[in-house]
Structure 1
Amino acid sequence: MKKTITGRALLTAASLFAIAMPAHAQTQAEQQRSLPQAVPISPSVPDPVDTPWPGGTIDLAVDATDITRGVFRTTETIPLAPGTERLTLLYPEWLPGKHAPRGFLAELTGIRFTANGQDLKWTRDPVEVYAFHVEVPAGTAQVAAQLVYTSPLEPNEGRIVMTPEMMNLKFEDVSLYPAGHYVRRIAIRPTVTFPEGWDVATALDGISRAGDTVQWATTDYQTLVDSPIFAGAYHRAWDLGQNVDLEVFADAPRYLEASEEQIDAHRRLVDEAIALYGSKPFDHYEFLLGLTDKLGGIGLEHHRSSENTLPPDTFTEWKKTEYRRGLLPHEMTHSWNGKFRRPARLWTPDYRQPMQDNLLWVYEGMTSYWDMVLAARSGLQTTDLIKGDIARTVANYMTQPGRAWRSVEDTTHDPIFAARKAKPFSSQSRGEEYYSEGALTWLEADMLIRRETGGRKSLEDFNKRFFGLRDGDWGEVTYEFEDVVADLNAVHPYDWANFLGRRLQLPNQPAPTRGVELAGYRVAFRPEPNPYDEAIMANAKYLNLWHSLGLNVGNDGSVSSVLWDGPAFKAGIVGGADIVAVNGEAYDSDAMKRAIAAAADGGGPIELLIERGGRYLTVPLAYDGGLRYPWLEPVDGKDGEQLLDRLLEPTVAD
């Protein structure tokens, strides 16, 4: 009897044949290629445990006198527990406030370990390259580490931290710490020798001074890293009240001439901040401020201090530098939000464990909301400037194409993988939007609470409940997403989990305009820049055409950024190009503005002569919308005080 083969049987046979052939072919390949196996990675650095470093107190001595070469020289004496055979030391890698691995290991040189006058053998861990393994001879009581930190001398090498006039000494740059212990359990006694006659400011306690050598009381390594130093030849200090000091260092003595009115604004900042949270998460606080264009720029929070730089003429040209004065309100707010209350997965027991940045829209986003409020309430910035800043931010999100694919929460990982580098099309890729879009989300939450409770409750009640719960505590209290939602609901019941989840954790959401609208305003466009845009353009020397041609261009014609899918983008203009001429005239900002105005009056396309990479191209831009800059205007079209204006008014009486 003849056997019939069904279609299914044929398919099965074909499948088996197809599977068998690659296996045979692979066998042939194996005869012609070497195929190694991976070498397993064995952990060689101990994880931290919450126990003290058993050797005792480490002595850290830093020579910071070489201001010519920008070099810090360290001798660190590390006592050992009896029987220690191998010492593993770590250089700080994941740094608080940086939200990423930012340790400057490449600048750490001259590494040498000794004991009893003899050099010790050491190796860098091949996997965790911030770890150093030191072989310890039997009977060794302590190991001395000599380190040379060659700080950057040019901006392309990194942030400059030492000049002939001042320095910003960060202990994480010039020290190592023993692996295997929470850094808060490592006792350390710091000593620094400074250039002759320099003043010194830091949040460290127990200062004693012998000439130019300064020592502080024994502290723990976590507090040491959280307590940077500003020092310099030209210095003034002001008592701002409530155990808060303003310590100012400058490039020259003339920049220290602050008026009483200017200092009073800083005093009001302190009073308004403490009133906003209802507590002080510190025993004392130091604003460390450099007025400089020589030291590298910084704004970095610490629990009992902050590192800040502003332009040298901040006091002497007070109006011109107004747009920069939101820095100190931002960094002080972090003492509550970011230092005292910190996302649980962003808090780490040492500087080796990676940080998880998901909740930075609370840490940085809410801080960015309240820094505007505090800047206005204290008088450091005017309400017109603040409203211009808000208008600029909202308008940018109204046109940002990257919001279609990337959520705000996803941008919290940007510090780790993008390292704050410039991007070809930032409007498409997005950057660290958890700051500014996070702030707009919290504005909406605040206005929603105020509207729904008839003004009886606000986000300020959340502040006092969430951040102000332990006056004087300068430890850390961690939280998760659910804790934020629970305390919001305790202030005003609402579906906060869905509210925050949709706006911050999902892409392709509507532009964040609702908070501004609930506050009584809407974004409208005018041909002249708002005060914030005007100040930014004047300082950075560029022309903002983002909402017209879709680009920003330097006063010299250099294109710095282009809006994805905007008019310039569609015409093939990209960052790095130079606009040589506009409508036949040599480029300058006024010529460009005249051409845009003429096109709006029916003058035809704007003709640009572009140079890029040695090639010249004439580009016609068919745009007739005129100059457009965002402003906030009352929703009802009527002048008068709106809810946003009342939010920005002072709350503490003089």
Structure 2
Amino acid sequence: MSALCVSALCGSGARASDGPQPVALPPVIPVAKDVAYPGTVELAVTATDLDRHVLSVSERVPLPASVTEKGGDVVLLYPSWLPGHHSPGGPIAEVGGIGVKSGGKTVPWVRDTVNVNAFHIAVPAGAKDVDVSFQVLTPITPKMGRVVMTPEMVNVQWNMVALYPAGYFTRDIPYSVKLTLPHGWQYGTALRASGPAVGDTVTFGTVPFNTLVDSPVFSGQYFRRIELSKPGETPVALNVIADRPEWLAATAAQTDLHRALVVQAGLLFGTHHYDHYDFLLALTNELGGIGLEHHRSSENSGPPGYFTKWDKTFPVKDLLAHEYTHSWNGKFRRPADLWAPDFNTPQRGSMLWVYEGQTQYWGYVLAARAGLMTPAQTLDAIAMVAAVYDRRAGRTWRPLEDTTNDPIISQRAPLSWRSWQRSEDYYSEGQLVWLDADTLIREKTGGQKSLNDFAKAFFGVDPGSYVTRTYTFDDVVAALNGVVPYDWASFLRTRLDRPRLRAPLDGLTRGGYKLVYTETASPYLKAVEALKKARNFDFSLGFTVDGKGVLTNVEWGSPAWQAGLAADETIVAVNGVAFDADDLSDLITATKAPDKDPITLLVQARDRFRTVTISYHLGLRYPHLERVAGAPDVLGQILTPLK
């Protein structure tokens, strides 16, 4: 250092500069403790303002004796870290009109300047409770967020409409709830009413706050409840709401397939961890799409033709199986770092490749075993998964394990280059890892054991218990070794921790199949295209395009990418002729020969037009699974119903 002394740096303990210093943070929010809350919170929600999409809330929060005696700062929290979202996604921006009273007098409140989901209430001495009122101004259009209120249906998620006292585990805070619905509407939920409805208001039995948040409501003008269990069995029901009454017309055969799902899940896991289970299913073009797990229920949405166009909607038939599996994997058994004492403590998702990846695997398998999807349809679906992740460009730089951070990083916002950024690949690439594991177990035991044995041993413990049991990586490895001894830690770590050029496709090979490409799209892909109103050229030119010519995806490194195309641009014309997906398909086939002219696209990006040339001569390419000659059909065995 120079012999000259810089005054700001000289002397023991001197500051490094004369610049600003940080302002002290506000007091820390009380840490949650596992002690009983002294009283029951009374919550009332009115869900009748369908035109304005507003939920109205009133809440009475009893106060601890220590606060009543001296008064002081009471902190109420709006849930942020929501189960199943794996990120801080609570819609705090939708909360408005907050008012607080105690003993009929207005009480001031202030939002915490660091934790904006925390509200400080200056409670006067002698106050026994506080009355809080507010509205939830839910999205009016999909551009604003997920629509939860329409003229025909409403989805009440209790985390959206409740504040809870800080400083307690949510399982220790009892809530009594009233819900007022539009006149004549019926509802489905895992909650049970404490008595007959009074007018349009139903009162539910008192439950802990964590159970309340885990028990959303689907209500609709057009509603049907289908019992899936037999008399004397633990009740399971399918509660369906729809935009139109005719969409509720499930046939007896379709109902039986959903009953078979319950049977096959029971045979797989050996037991269950609920006293009743309610599938909530919305068949809609208006309510926002959802697939969200809960311990005793699940929120699901499907296309209007789920029942009435059964043969055309099979690509979504794994959804109920997926969310149902979560009752065991994710709700009863949960990764240790995804469990938290309340809904404002940060969570981590390092084991999502089990939580979601294995659930994705069982979703496909159980849908096939139940008959919701045929084996051929399921194999076509697996072929799509294998092809997408085998050519995912981002796998060359980003390991699968790192994608478990994506719910926090991007919070499921649209991505410019998903094939390079990778997004939440732990779902479907995780599915391939578990197929790999299943076939390896079968190979090493001569078909005597399988991942079925792991599922029963790992998720089927403590029959009837509702108490969450957490797990770690070592627990998963130990359970796999309990099925068949092997270096499972290395098996998993090499598939999770390292960038890999190719997807883990050994499960296909051991399963008796190989991934191939032909010029004909599978019935599964054609059905997906029809549902999404799009055409998939991802495996040839490298993009997916909707019916209006808008590029909804461009694969990184593909011919389209090399030509400079990007998502959200519009193909106006192909070789000088107005865009038509069928014509483009024919042209790709016609230009297979190397001496053919390249494909020329007129592309519009906002108010700019440009001509793009793609030199591609390999024809149409669509993924399929092809049987390996002489190899046993292990995949077929996996998809066969259990008995």
- TM-score category of the 2 structures, normalised to the smaller one: over 0.9
**1:647 correspondence with 2:638:** yes
Q: Is the 8 A contact 1:585 1:591 kept in 2?
A: no
Match of 1:221 in 2: 209
- Superposition deviation, residue 384 in structure 1: 1.6
- Superposition deviation, residue 43 in structure 1: 3.5
**Partners of 1:231 and 1:398 in 2: CA distance:** 41
Match of 2:352 in 1: 360
SS, match of residue 597 in structure 1: helix
- Superposition deviation, residue 313 in structure 1: 2.0
* Structure 1 counterpart of 2:118, from 106, 131, 135: 131
**Partners of 1:64 and 1:611 in 2: CA distance:** 43
Match of 1:634 in 2: 627
Q: Is the 8 A contact 1:83 1:139 kept in 2?
A: no
Q: Is the 8 A contact 1:502 1:509 kept in 2?
A: no
- Superposition deviation, residue 108 in structure 1: 0.8
SS, match of residue 75 in structure 1: strand
Match of 1:6 in 2: none
**1:272 correspondence with 2:264:** yes
Q: Is the 8 A contact 1:83 1:138 kept in 2?
A: no
- Superposition deviation, residue 42 in structure 1: 4.5
**Partners of 2:424 and 2:560 in 1: CA distance:** 24
Match of 1:546 in 2: 538
Q: Is the 8 A contact 1:450 1:456 kept in 2?
A: yes
Deviations 1:468-495 (CA, angstroms, capped at 9, x unpaired): 0111112200011000000100110000
**1:74 correspondence with 2:60:** no
Residue ranges of structure 2 left out of the alignment (5+ in a row)? none
Match of 2:324 in 1: 332
Instruction: Give the residue type in structure 1 aligned to 2:20.
Output: P
Q: Compare 578-587 and 454-463 and name the one that shifted more.
A: 578-587
Deviations 1:339-385 (CA, angstroms, capped at 9, x unpaired): 00000110000001001001000000000001000100111111122
- Superposition deviation, residue 614 in structure 1: 3.0
Match of 2:146 in 1: 159
Instruction: Give the residue type in structure 1 aligned to 2:445.
Output: T
* Structure 1 counterpart of 2:219, from 231, 244, 250: 231
**1:37 correspondence with 2:27:** no
Instruction: Give the residue type in structure 2 aligned to 1:212.
Output: D
Match of 1:204 in 2: 191
- Superposition deviation, residue 552 in structure 1: 1.4
- Superposition deviation, residue 576 in structure 1: 2.4
**Partners of 1:176 and 1:404 in 2: CA distance:** 44
Q: Is the 8 A contact 1:82 1:139 kept in 2?
A: no
**Partners of 1:249 and 1:62 in 2: CA distance:** 20
SS, match of residue 405 in structure 2: helix
Instruction: Give the residue type in structure 2 aligned to 1:299.
Output: G
**Partners of 2:181 and 2:568 in 1: CA distance:** 43
Instruction: Decide which structure has the larger Cα Rg and report it.
Output: 1
**Partners of 2:542 and 2:73 in 1: CA distance:** 59
Instruction: Give the residue type in structure 2 aligned to 1:35.
Output: G
Deviations 1:141-181 (CA, angstroms, capped at 9, x unpaired): 11111111111111111111111211111111111000000
State TM-score, norm by structure 2: 0.95
Match of 1:5 in 2: none
SS, match of residue 218 in structure 1: strand
**1:556 correspondence with 2:544:** no
SS, match of residue 147 in structure 1: strand
Q: State how 1:158-197 maps to structure 2 within 5 Å.
A: 158-197=145-184
Instruction: Give the residue type in structure 1 aligned to 2:206.
Output: T
Match of 1:306 in 2: 298
* Structure 1 counterpart of 2:47, from 46, 60, 64: 64
- Superposition deviation, residue 426 in structure 1: 0.9
**1:419 correspondence with 2:411:** yes
SS, match of residue 95 in structure 1: coil
SS, match of residue 134 in structure 1: strand
Q: Is the 8 A contact 1:110 1:146 kept in 2?
A: yes
Match of 2:91 in 1: 104
Residue ranges of structure 1 left out of the alignment (5+ in a row)? 1-15
Match of 1:12 in 2: none
Q: Is the 8 A contact 1:503 1:509 kept in 2?
A: no
- Superposition deviation, residue 643 in structure 1: 0.9
**1:615 correspondence with 2:608:** yes
Instruction: Give the residue type in structure 2 aligned to 1:516.
Output: L
Q: Is the 8 A contact 1:609 1:616 kept in 2?
A: yes
Match of 2:315 in 1: 323
Q: Is the 8 A contact 2:193 2:202 kept in 1?
A: no
**Partners of 2:613 and 2:200 in 1: CA distance:** 65
Cα 1:617–1:42 change in 2 (3 A) is closer
**Partners of 2:635 and 2:462 in 1: CA distance:** 30
- Superposition deviation, residue 551 in structure 1: 1.4
Count residues with an aligned counterpart: 629
Instruction: Give the residue type in structure 2 aligned to 1:118.
Output: K
- Superposition deviation, residue 91 in structure 1: 0.2
**Partners of 2:424 and 2:533 in 1: CA distance:** 24
Deviations 1:98-148 (CA, angstroms, capped at 9, x unpaired): 000110111111111101110001100000110000011111111111111
Identity of aligned residues (%): 47
**Partners of 2:188 and 2:336 in 1: CA distance:** 31
- Superposition deviation, residue 510 in structure 1: 3.3
**Partners of 2:635 and 2:186 in 1: CA distance:** 42
SS, match of residue 415 in structure 1: helix
Q: Is the 8 A contact 2:8 2:18 kept in 1?
A: no
- Superposition deviation, residue 24 in structure 1: 8.2
Q: Compare 422-431 and 538-547 and name the one that shifted more.
A: 538-547
Match of 1:285 in 2: 277
SS, match of residue 276 in structure 1: helix
Deviations 1:275-294 (CA, angstroms, capped at 9, x unpaired): 10000111110001111111
Alignment root-mean-square deviation, CA: 1.8
**Partners of 1:71 and 1:420 in 2: CA distance:** 24
Q: Is the 8 A contact 2:535 2:581 kept in 1?
A: yes
Q: Compare 614-623 and 362-371 and name the one that shifted more.
A: 614-623
**Partners of 2:143 and 2:607 in 1: CA distance:** 25
Match of 1:51 in 2: 35
Instruction: Give the residue type in structure 1 aligned to 2:33.
Output: V
Runs of 4+ in 1 over 6 A off after TM superposition: 24-27
SS, match of residue 572 in structure 2: strand
Instruction: Give the residue type in structure 2 aligned to 1:82.
Output: A
- Superposition deviation, residue 535 in structure 1: 1.1
Q: Is the 8 A contact 1:289 1:309 kept in 2?
A: yes
Match of 2:66 in 1: 83
- Superposition deviation, residue 585 in structure 1: 2.0
